[in-house]
Chain A
Amino acid sequence: MSDWRRRQSRAAVWFLAPAGILLAVFVVWPLARSLWWSFHYADLLAPDGQPWAGGSHYSDLLRDPRFRRAFANTALFAVLVVPLQTTLAFFLALWVNRPEPAWRWLRVVFFLPTIVAMPVLAILWTMLYQPAQGDETGLINAMLGIVGVPAQAWLRDPLLALPAIAFMSIWQGTGLQMMVFLAGLQNVPRETLEAARVDGAGAWQRTRHVVVPAMRNSIVFVVTVTTILAFRLFVQPYLMTRGGPGNSTVSLVQTIYETTFLAQDLGRACAAAFLFLLLVGGLALVQRRLLREERA
């Protein structure tokens, strides 16, 4: 046994080497280089050996209206998606947490959109949101027509485009969160739940005082992950609206992409990426703090 323990530290090197080398080459090195470029006038064609730019890329970005709009849009998207999607997923999980086969099917139905690729769904929903033109219209306008809601331009309306993208994203992501919550529901102590019922606590009180505390970890996990995913918004607006109409749906990731490949301003793009990373990392930390302190 002691022989095994002694040999471990040598074996560990071999076990860690493949992942370690890959992470060093494809994560650590690009990150370090990108941090370097963010302080230089690096451009796409000749990234290295360019003059020092100091913090000018960072300060330029913070003054750039399109970048600021992208930040506002992405934040608004997160504000719409995170609470709505999490709440919806939570109640769906409570609702379908029954053993009969019919509910298992319902779970599969809710989960289905999450396994379809986002580019597929972005294109599909562009068609569903199709505005009315002559006697043609998308399914959503047609459905709303039944209840007397007039046809909307959806993705072509600067006010509705981002909420429309948020709605489709909620529809897509709810199922996965629901599965995490369903797993978390296994941690709810049945005896406590039963005792609360006997003491006359209603469904709402049982949920509020027994289920929610028991599912803390799942809730923290879901909120954190959803926030990060929401800030990574790219595929939907890129394919559905190209950031338009106007700048009404341009996202942070899209500005990074455009700064690199359209403006070919690598230094500035890397600065944007680091601002983005700071934001996402900071948010994750803040959420962790807030959600943890609530417990005490």
Chain B
Amino acid sequence: MSLRVLRWTAAALVAAVFLAPLLWMFAGSFRETSALFRGGPWSWIGGDGWTWDNYGEAWRRGALGRASLNTLLQVAVIGGGGLFVNSMAAFAFARMRFAGREALFAAVVVFVILPVEVLAVPLFFTARDLGLTGGYTSAMAGLTLPFLAKAFNIYLLRQHFMALPTALEEAAVIDGAGAWRVFWNIALPAVRPALATVVLLDVLTHWSDFLWPLLVATREETRTVQIGLANLFTQPPVDWGAILACAVMATLPVLLSFRLLQRHLVLTDTGAGIK
């Protein structure tokens, strides 16, 4: 019995360590800046100095309306378009026979470990040469196009396509289905959980993109949420309350998409699959 109590106390304590920073962020977004760093450790829960103003200030100074739309668009294009492009390639690697398949796939595997940071600078020039920087449409294309095809996603989806039984595919082929029909009507629906995982990982990754938007989305109208937040933080006067409000607003959409896609999350093959 006492062991049980001990276990629950430990659980509560560890949970508190993981939650406290995020709870402080949320509570702090409703506090006047002057009250944020004042008083004892528990002052952020009680006391005075509560306000709604941070949200208005953050929305205005971070140009959050536009920035949120930009980021949503960016994440939607990468998530949706990438899913299409990567699942097609993964399907070919998993279910089709063609010359040079092993060599091509080995090249894809090498790209999996290639860090974005190595590529960022030369990629910036490629994007500029292709006219993917500057104006609104160009910069949005620059934010999204380079990240549609992703080696890791091809790799992960291939694992799932390979696990499908051949019987399904054979039956469809006998009924006269072509490669596209097999892919679109049979294989894709069968790996839906993997698709959800890939989309969720893309949303999480690109929602927090920082280095790349810092390079290509430099104009005010192309700013993403994270850049807007960082600007609030680096350009004086620093209004801590507004920064926290902005941080909360930048977090809600990912929480929401996580909530929506969470049931489908499968990390099994990422864990067991890489050789």
A interface list, Cβ under 8 A from B: 1, 4-5, 7-9, 11-13, 15-16, 18-20, 22-23, 25-27, 29-31, 33-34, 37, 47, 92, 102, 106, 109-110, 112-121, 123-128, 130, 135-139, 142-143, 145-146, 171, 175, 179-184, 186-187, 217-218, 220-222, 224, 228, 231-232, 234-235, 238-239, 253, 256-257, 260, 266, 269-270, 273-274, 276-277, 280-281, 284
Contacts and interface: CB of A to CB of B under 8 A. Distances in A.
16 contacts: A4-B179, A11-B178, A12-B97, A15-B183, A16-B92, A27-B151, A30-B123, A30-B126, A34-B119, A116-B251, A120-B208, A139-B24, A180-B267, A183-B272, A256-B121, A257-B211
A22 B149 contact: yes
B19 to A, nearest CB: 6
Nearest to B152: A225
Contacts of A224: 274
Given A19-B86, A109-B18, A234-B211, A116 B41 contact: no
B237 interface: no
A265 to B, nearest CB: 11
B247 A146 contact: no
Contacts of A31: 114, 118-119, 122
Nearest to A184: B271
B190 interface: no
B67 interface: no
A256 B88 contact: no
Contact of A234 (B15, B117, B151, B255): B117
A181 to B, nearest CB: 8
B89 interface: yes
Contacts of A260: 121
Interface in B227-275: 229-230, 233-234, 240, 243-244, 247, 250-251, 254-255, 258, 265-268, 270-274
B117 A273 contact: yes
B228 to A, nearest CB: 10
Interface in B121-137: 121-123, 125-126, 130
A217 B271 contact: yes
Closest 3 CB pairs of A and B: A117-B208, A34-B122, A30-B122
B211 A235 contact: yes
Q: Is the interface of A mostly helix, strand, loop or mixed?
A: helix
Given A15-B179, A269-B121, A137 B37 contact: yes
Contacts, number: 255
Interface of B: 11, 14-15, 17-22, 24-25, 28, 36-41, 44, 84-86, 88-89, 91-93, 96-99, 101, 104, 108, 111, 113-123, 125-126, 130, 145-149, 151, 154, 170, 173-174, 178-180, 183, 204, 207-208, 210-211, 225-226, 229-230, 233-234, 240, 243-244, 247, 250-251, 254-255, 258, 265-268, 270-274
A1 to B, nearest CB: 6
Given A118-B208, A186-B268, A217-B271, A27 B115 contact: no
A271 to B, nearest CB: 11
Given A26-B123, A47-B125, A139-B44, A120 B19 contact: no
A78 B190 CA distance: 39
B82 to A, nearest CB: 9
Instruction: Name the residue in A8, A29, A117 with the highest tally of chain B Cβ atoms < 10 Å from its Cβ.
Output: A117
B227 to A, nearest CB: 8
Given A146-B41, A232-B115, A273-B118, 12 more contacts: A4-B179, A12-B101, A18-B85, A18-B88, A118-B208, A119-B229, A121-B21, A123-B233, A136-B37, A139-B24, A184-B272, A273-B117
